[in-house]
């Protein structure tokens, strides 16, 4: 049963990204939108950092976490199809193009860069863990 739902998840994600690809070609090609999208990347990482570090500061005495746990949680917070689908659901207007371009660039960065390097981050975190 688990394999069935995993297959359904993969199929729905493929359909979602196909629809996203069809919609993205309608976004006007404006260098300012691309610049805003790239400017959003550090802002999203900063927001993720605050959302991870604040609770960990409170929970650190209770939890036994390695020194690199916050970095792993921040870098592992991948964004994907749901983010773009939400941006696609915005009503037409000037803000929609900005939100859609920024979201799409952040998702691409997340999937390609963060997803492509998370294994190295986790390897480093494992090496940092105390041996028991």
Mean pLDDT by 10-residue block, N- to C-terminus, for the chain (132 residues)?
87 82 76 92 94 90 81 83 84 87 89 89 76 64
The pLDDT value given to residue 68:
77
Q: Which pLDDT does position 130 carry in this prediction?
A: 67
- List Cβ neighbours of 129 (8 Å cut-off, separation of 6 or more): 66
- Residue 132's pLDDT is what? 60
Give pTM, 2 decimals. 0.76
- For position 51, what pLDDT does the model report? 94
pLDDT of residue 124: 77
Closest of 75, 86, 132 to residue 109, by C-alpha: 75
């Amino acid at each position: 049963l688990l394999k069935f739902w995993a297959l359904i998840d993969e199929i729905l994600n493929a359909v979602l990204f196909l629809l996203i690809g069809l919609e993205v070609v309608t976004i006007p090609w404006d260098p300012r939108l691309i610049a805003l999208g790239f400017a959003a990347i550090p802002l999203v990482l900063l927001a993720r950092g605050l959302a991870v570090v604040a609770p960990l500061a409170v929970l650190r005495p209770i939890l036994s976490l390695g020194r690199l746990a916050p970095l792993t949680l921040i870098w592992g917070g991948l964004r994907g199809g749901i983010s773009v689908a939400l941006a696609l659901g915005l009503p037409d207007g000037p803000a929609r193009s900005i939100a859609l371009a920024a979201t799409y660039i952040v998702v691409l960065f997340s999937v390609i860069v963060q997803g492509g390097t998370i294994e190295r981050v986790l390897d480093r975190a494992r090496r940092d863990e105390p041996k028991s």
